[in-house]
């Protein structure tokens, strides 16, 4: 399994959902997280990013996840 470089979880106020952006070198994977509440805890959002990266076949260190509210 390849490792992702980093990920960003950001709130999309227009669509009222979290968006996860996973970066692997020059490749970027973007996924919505529609069922996650707006007031979700940082730990839950980091876990979400790690889970989505794993679904795509990438490992991701929780320390490499940034959250933008």
**Residue-number span of the structural domain to which 30 is assigned:** 2-68
CA angle, 60 then 11 then 66, to 5°: 35
Whether the predicted pLDDT of 61 surpasses 90: yes
Is the per-residue pLDDT at 1 higher than 90?
Answer: no
| Total structural domains within the chain | 1
- Which region, left, alpha or beta, applies to residue 53 given φ > 0 means left and ψ of -120 to 50 means alpha? alpha
Q: Give the pLDDT mean for 12-18.
A: 95
Count of alpha carbons within 13 Å of 12, Cβ hemisphere only? 15
Q: Please report the pLDDT score of residue 66 as a whole number.
A: 98
Contact 57, 1 (CB under 8 A): yes
pLDDT digits (tens, 9 = 90+) for 16-57: 999 999 999 999 999 999 899 999 999 999 999 999 999 999
């Amino acid at each position: 399994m390849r490792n992702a470089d980093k990920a960003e979880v950001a709130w999309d106020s227009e669509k009222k959902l979290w968006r996860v952006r996973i970066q692997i070198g020059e490749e970027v994977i973007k996924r919505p997280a529609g069922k996650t509440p707006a007031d979700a805890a940082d730990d839950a959002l980091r876990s979400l990013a790690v889970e989505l990266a794993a679904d795509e076949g990438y490992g991701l260190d929780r320390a490499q996840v940034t959250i933008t509210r």
